[in-house]
Amino acid sequence: MPGALVPNLSPEAAERLKRVRLLLLDVDGVLTDGGLYYGNSGEEMKRFDVKDGAGMWVAHRNGLEVGLLTGKTSRIVAQRAQELGLTRVVQGAVDKVPALEKLLQDGAYPLNEIAFMGDDVLDLPVMRRVGFSACPSDAHDQVKARVHYVCSKGGGRGAVRELVDLWFEATGRLPEIMKRFGWEEDPHA
Ligand SMILES: [Mg+2]
């Protein structure tokens, strides 16, 4: 049942989100603000949001596996995935549909149990296939017009945490999660 934290989710989209058990994320523009930083020595840097990371950590260990599906390749992404304990990671996926199939080749998840968040038109073919699609608030307009949920927060600025929180709320797991952090009372009650 959608509650106070899911005011913008249609009942149909909420039903779709409830079925999700795997959250796949694009990296640039979703886990980051899309900025690509290069140093003089050719060193590449990305900026990640610590609250996104905490949300992924909690979700990954509480019923929502998290994976990464990105068109670029960098050691930074491999390191971030390792820090968070993510194992379903495909980099260098210019065509993301075959990459999606590779990620799912063990048959652990049917498409309707997968959510994907991307920010640009290259992400649309995967969005069309999975059960639930979302994008950050600063995604491309053609993406924003087609997803089940447009986050109020931007890429690299809490959009991933927003979607994870939405999943906890939609699946009714939020009280259980908060209880683990020592809060049993519902502040909205
Ligand atoms: Mg992107």
**79 occurs within a structural domain:** yes
Q: Is residue 139 part of a domain?
A: yes
CA of 94 to the centre of ligand 1 (A): 11
Q: Looking at per-residue confidence, does 64 or 182 come out higher?
A: 64
Model confidence, pTM:
0.93
Residue 35, in any domain of the structure: yes
Residue 1 lies in a domain: no
29 Cα–ligand 1 center, Å: 4
Residue 183 lies in a domain: no
Domain of 86 in residue numbering reads as 11-174
135 CA distance to ligand 1 centroid (A)?
Answer: 10
Question: 78 by DSSP, 3-state: which?
Answer: helix
Q: How far is the CA of 4 from the centre of ligand 1 (A)?
A: 29
CA of 95 to the centre of ligand 1 (A): 13
The answer to whether the CB of 6 falls within 8 A of the CB of 169 is: yes
Say whether pLDDT at 16 is over 80: yes
How far, in Å, CA of 13 to CA of 150, rounded?
12
- Domain count across the chain: 1
For residue 2, is it within any domain? no
* CATH code of the domain covering residue 39: 3.40.50.1000
Q: Is the pLDDT of residue 95 over 70?
A: yes
End-to-end CA distance of the chain: 15
Q: Is residue 27 a part of any domain in this protein?
A: yes
